[in-house]
């Protein structure tokens, strides 16, 4: 592991120390875990995005098919 120096506002330092104490951990470990979680989230998002764009596009309607108008889409007899 490598060390990192960060600069944050005094209010943030106070909050981080309190949060770390509440979770019985160090500020360093807490920040490290937060950054790791962010990295995993971003990696998962990128993988999902690549997977989505790797599949060929689907046609949503047949050629020449007329789409319903707004009134037909939102016609709800239950609400009348």
Q: For the chain, what are the domain ranges? A: 1-53
> Hey, what CATH topology would domain 1-53 get?
Arc Repressor Mutant (1.10.1220)
CA distance 26 to 19: 9
pLDDT bin (cut points 50, 70, 90) of residue 72 is: confident
Chain mean position to CA 43: 11
Is residue 70 predicted with pLDDT exceeding 90? no
The pLDDT of residue 78:
60
Q: What is the pLDDT of residues 7-53, one digit of tens each?
A: 999 999 999 999 999 999 999 999 999 999 999 999 999 999 999 99
Q: Give this prediction's pTM.
A: 0.64
Higher pLDDT residue, 66 or 24? 24
Buried b (16+ CB within 10 A) or exposed e, 38-47: eeeeeeeeee
CA distance 47 to 55: 13
Q: Which two tokens stand for residue 56?
A: 């060929």
Q: Rg of the chain over CA atoms, in angstroms?
A: 25
């Amino acid at each position: 592991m490598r060390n990192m120096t960060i600069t944050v506002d005094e209010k943030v330092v106070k909050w981080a120390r309190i949060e770390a104490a509440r979770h019985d951990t160090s500020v360093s470990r807490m920040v490290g875990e937060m950054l790791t979680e962010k990295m995993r989230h971003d990696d998962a998002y990128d993988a999902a995005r690549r997977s989505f764009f790797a599949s060929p596009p689907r046609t949503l309607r047949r050629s020449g098919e007329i789409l319903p108008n707004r009134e037909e889409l939102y016609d709800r007899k239950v609400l009348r």
